[in-house]
C-alpha cells in the first residue's frame, strides 16, 4: 500500500459531467485506455456506501478482473468527499428485519474481501473525508492518492466498535505508524 499526496485540483478536475445530472447512477464507470475509473456518485449523501453501490462496485471489479484489456482500476468520489462510509440509515431502517441488515452486511463485507484479494492494481483517489467504510474501501487498495484536504477517520472505534473490513489488520501495518494512535 502506498499513500501519495497530490494537489486537490488534480483529483477534482476529473469529475464527469454525469455528476451534475439529477437522475444519476450510484457508480459511474468510465473506460480510459486500459484503465477503468469508477466514481462513487452519491455526493448528496457524502458518497455513503449503500447496498446497491456495494453490489455495483463488486460486479464492476469482478468484470474488470476477468477482462484482459483492463490493467488497473481507479476509484474516486464525486463532490467534496471520497466516502463517508456505510449507509447507516439503511441499517437503522431495517433494524426490525434481520434479513435486511444481513443482506446489506453480506454485500459490503463480500466486496471488502474481494478488494483485499483483487489481482490487478487498484487505486483510490481520495479528496475530502473518508470515514469508516470509506477507509475500508480506500485502505486495501494497492495505492491511495490523497490531497491536502483529505482526512481519514474510523469514528466507530471511539464508540467501542471494532473497525470493520479488516481495518484493524491493515491500519496496524501501515508504514510510519500512520494507522496507530
d(CA 126, CA 147): 7
132 classed as catalytic: no
Closest-CA residue to 59 (of 104, 4, 114): 114
Respond yes or no: is residue 164 known to be catalytic: yes
- Residues 133, 134, 136, 179: which is the catalytic one? 133
Closest to 124 (Cα-Cα) out of 83, 84, 156, 154: 83
Among the options 79, 86, 128, 136, which is catalytic? 86
The whole-angstrom separation of Cα 20 and Cα 82 is 16
| 86 a catalytic residue | yes
Q: 93 catalytic, yes or no?
A: no
The grid coordinates listed for 111 are 466486496
Catalytic residue among 51, 87, 164, 179: 164
Rounded to whole angstroms, the Cα distance separating 2 from 4 reads 6
The grid coordinates of residue 150 equal 483529505
Catalytic residue among 26, 51, 87, 156: 156
- Name the residues annotated as catalytic: 86, 133, 156, 164
Amino acid at each position: 500500500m502506498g499513500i501519495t499526496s497530490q494537489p486537490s485540483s488534480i483529483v477534482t478536475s476529473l469529475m464527469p459531467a454525469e455528476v451534475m445530472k439529477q437522475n444519476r447512477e450510484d457508480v459511474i464507470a468510465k473506460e480510459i485506455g486500459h484503465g477503468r475509473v469508477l466514481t462513487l456518485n452519491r455526493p448528496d449523501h457524502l458518497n455513503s456506501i449503500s447496498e446497491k453501490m456495494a453490489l455495483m462496485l463488486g460486479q464492476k471489479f469482478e468484470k474488470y478482473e476477468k477482462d484482459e484489456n483492463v490493467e488497473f482500476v481507479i476509484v474516486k468520489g464525486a463532490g467534496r468527499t471520497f466516502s463517508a462510509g456505510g449507509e447507516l440509515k439503511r441499517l437503522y431502517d431495517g433494524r426490525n428485519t434481520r434479513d435486511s441488515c444481513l443482506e446489506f452486511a453480506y454485500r459490503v463485507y463480500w466486496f471488502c474481501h474481494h478488494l483485499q484479494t483483487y489481482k490487478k492494481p487498484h487505486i483510490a483517489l481520495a479528496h475530502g473525508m473518508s470515514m469508516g467504510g470509506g477507509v475500508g474501501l480506500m485502505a486495501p487498495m494497492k495505492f491511495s492518492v490523497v490531497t491536502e484536504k483529505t482526512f481519514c477517520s474510523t469514528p466507530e472505534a471511539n464508540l467501542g466498535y471494532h473497525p470493520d473490513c479488516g481495518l484493524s489488520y491493515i491500519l496496524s501495518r501501515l508504514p510510519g505508524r500512520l494507522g496507530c494512535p
